[in-house]
A = this chain, B = another copy of it.
Amino acid sequence: MRDVAIIGIGQTPVGEHWDTSLRHLALQAALNALHDANIEKVDAIYVGNMLSGEVGGQEHLGALVADSLGMSGVEALKIEAACASGAAALRVGILAIASGMLDLVLVLGVEKLTDTLGGETTAALALAADAEYEVSQGISFVALNALLMRRYMHDYGWRGDDFANFVINAHANALNNPNAMFHRRVTPESYARSALIADPVKLFDASPVCDGAAAVVLAPAEYARTLSPAPVRIRGSAVATAPLAVHSRKDPLALAAARLSARRAYEMAQITPQDVDFFELHDAFTIMSALSLEAAGFAERGQGVRLALEGDITLQGRLPVATLGGLKARGHPVGATGMYQVVEAVLQLRGLAGENQVPAACIGMTQNIGGSGATIITHILEMA
């Protein structure tokens, strides 16, 4: 296989874009990435998106994005893996270039959720769970995460407030990110005061519903340097799955797909967790942060929360996470999230993360989770 590198990145601010269509969000992020890569055309476009059909009345986003960019003719497909759709599209882009069949690929994640009513969005997001065995019982994603968080607290003796630092860290890091949705500090007190929405999940444990788009341009690593002054090499890439319904998993707190995809990505990159300088994890809910830290090998079982409690996850800590706000504070525009993680990791590796720069960031890892953990996609990036 050919090695693959990222030669350009682009994003839109995350937020409630009432006056911007999905088409235009996609266009902005894509044009930014093409501009950053200093190219005008690609051989293929892979679009990560979950809900444009259900929420926006538009499927067929591959052709739509190619058309909007004035690139009709090129190969273009949509890739979906629930909330992991962004990283899924990146995965296909990597396969395409690694195959030697295509040279320049645009990978885009885009989601537009604010044109719906609140109830519709919750119902739409539940399409990531098992329709016949979970959703038919009335479960929502907040409820699924509440079940996992309650079980975790029960099994390992943690209290709800022990999760606070995941939120405090994310919001602190978002303060300096102009593309983040929230620019508001969270304190232990404001976290403790935040409303319970599905006991034990508080409002502040959950990431927001929002819109956004983020994109990268990929090229073969062998000539990425001739195209970009600062290419970032993709060292590891792995998709893994687990049973769709939480009740079908032998060990619901193990996040088996995270363990598998991280292990495969480490093997491909020939590194260990100790080599990772920062980790853009999937903090859709605080419990997911704890579980993915454990499954990816950064903490023992039941001890993921301790990394937050002891400050290891801050920018100055042993393993910075959510370095530009994470899903919690940058925002979680579902099918775009995986691409925001990658774009932010590239900013860190290029040394362009400003006030939020992780010192000596050489190897970054991203992990994008679909559903309650049924699809988990890990990427490991390094300056080329």
Partner of A58, one of B77, B91, B99, B127: B127
Given contacts A95-B101, A132-B23, contact A60 B1 (CB under 8 A): no
Could you tell me the distance in whole angstroms from the C-beta of A104 to the nearest C-beta in chain B?
15
Query: Could you list 7 examples of A-B contacts with CB < 8 Å?
Result: A1-B99, A73-B242, A73-B256, A78-B81, A79-B92, A92-B92, A96-B99
Chain B residue contacts of A16, Cβ below 8 A: none
Q: Which of A189-240 contact B (CB under 8 A)?
A: 238-240
A72-B257, A98-B101 are known; give 7 further A-B pairs, CB within 8 A. Answer: A1-B101, A54-B54, A54-B59, A66-B241, A77-B375, A98-B99, A99-B100
Q: Which of A84-132 contact B (CB under 8 A)?
A: 88, 91-92, 94-96, 98-101, 127-132
Partner of A50, one of B54, B59, B76, B371: B59
A260 to B80, Cβ gap below 8 A? no
Chain A interface extent, by class: 35 or more
Residue of B nearest to A2 (CB): B99
Given contacts A73-B257, A80-B80, A100-B98, contact A63 B1 (CB under 8 A): no
Q: Name the residue among A50, A72, A88, A96 with the largest chain B CB count within 10 angstroms.
A: A72
Q: Measuring CB to CB, which residues of chain A are less than 8 angstroms from any residue of chain B?
A: 1-2, 21, 23, 44, 50-51, 53-54, 56-64, 66-67, 71-82, 88, 91-92, 94-96, 98-101, 127-132, 135, 238-245, 248, 256-257, 260, 370-371, 374-375
Chain B residue contacts of A94, Cβ below 8 A: 99
Partner of A62, one of B2, B99, B135, B241: B241
A375 to B60, Cβ gap below 8 A? yes
CA distance A114 to B28 in the complex (A): 38
B75 to A243, Cβ gap below 8 A? no
Given contacts A23-B132, A73-B257, A80-B80, contact A63 B99 (CB under 8 A): no
Residue of B nearest to A93 (CB): B95
Chain B residue contacts of A67, Cβ below 8 A: 241-245, 248, 374
Residue of B nearest to A44 (CB): B239
Partner of A60, one of B79, B239, B370: B370
Could you tell me the distance in whole angstroms from the C-beta of A213 to the nearest C-beta in chain B?
16
Residue of B nearest to A376 (CB): B63
Given contacts A51-B53, A81-B78, A375-B60, contact A73 B240 (CB under 8 A): yes
Partner of A241, one of B73, B81, B135, B375: B73
A82 to B95, Cβ gap below 8 A? no
Partner of A127, one of B60, B62, B74, B131: B60
